[in-house]
Amino acid sequence: MSTPSALRLRGRTLGPGEFAVMAVVNRTPDSFFDRGATFGFTAAVDAATRLIDEGADIVDIGGVKAGPGDVVGPAEEIDRVAGVVAAVRDRHPDVIISVDTWRSEVAKVVADAGADLLNDTWGGVDPGLAEVAGAYGIGLVCAHAGRVEPRTRPHRIGYADIVADVIGYTTALAERAVSLGVRRDAVLIDPAHDFGKNTWHSLEVTRRLGELVATGWPVLVAVSNKDFVGEALGGLPVERRHEGTLATLAVSAVQGARVFRVHDAAGARAALAAVARLRDG
């Protein structure tokens, strides 16, 4: 077991045992959750403000739907997210801004616009992303997506030991990022539930999340309203996964996860406050 390290982003320090809420703003017309509700520029910026008011510490802005769908090239992705990043930075100078992208050309533009963190949910498919984070002095999320192509759903993917694979892959990405100049205290690892995984894999990662925490790297979990939550609870549709999401957040928090990517900032903040109170007495 390694000594847990602090996470430092935009002047804020998040130590072991502390929780941060990362709220999602989808600048996409086809999000599985909000169906394009924040696709408009003003809607996206206003949503960021609302989520911050509800307790978000980090706003994660994305311009491409995670699942299969219409092709979105780098130029269109930049057009969707860069202006929102700049506007949120202008309106909220102290908030931590993350951008969900796997492309280094997008990363450069949003770093210039004021992003503090690159959320690489597809697990290093563009090696240049870590180089951008190092060059700009910003943070990086190192995720495990099963080595699949972005926006694909692999058929019958398997692992000898999913947790061992997650740990080996994400920590290697993290060490590479540090070697490229990313501050060690600005790197997180993310098992990336449902990315390159079936429901069994995502549940196993959740049950054994403490093994990721034991690496010492701060752990991010992104489980909000995901398919594994719905399937594990009997096939619930997206709109009925809220309670399962909060339960999964609590299980993850008790095991030591530190950053929680969610759609409902207020609900997550309340649930995590309850976990902390019960844990600490």
Is residue 63 classed exposed, middle or buried when 0-12, 13-18 and 19+ CB atoms within 10 A define those classes? buried
Q: Please give the pLDDT value at position 15.
A: 94
Instruction: Note the pTM of the prediction, 2 decimals.
Output: 0.96
Catalytic sites, residue numbers: 226, 261
- Give me the sign of the Cα torsion angle 37, 40, 43, 48: positive
Question: Has domain 17-280 been given CATH number 3.40.50.720?
Answer: no
Q: Please give the pLDDT value at position 265.
A: 98
Q: Please give the pLDDT value at position 253.
A: 98
Q: What is the mean pLDDT of each run of 10 residues along the chain (281 residues)?
A: 89 96 95 87 98 98 94 98 98 98 98 98 97 98 96 91 98 98 98 97 98 98 97 97 98 98 98 96 82
Q: Please give the pLDDT value at position 153.
A: 87
- What are the tokens at 12? 């804020």
Residue 169: CA atoms inside 13 Å, Cβ hemisphere, count? 24
Q: Please give the pLDDT value at position 35.
A: 77
Residue 164's region, left for phi above 0, alpha for psi from -120 to 50, else beta, is alpha
What would you measure as the largest C-alpha separation in the chain, in angstroms?
Answer: 50
- What are the tokens at 90? 């202008």
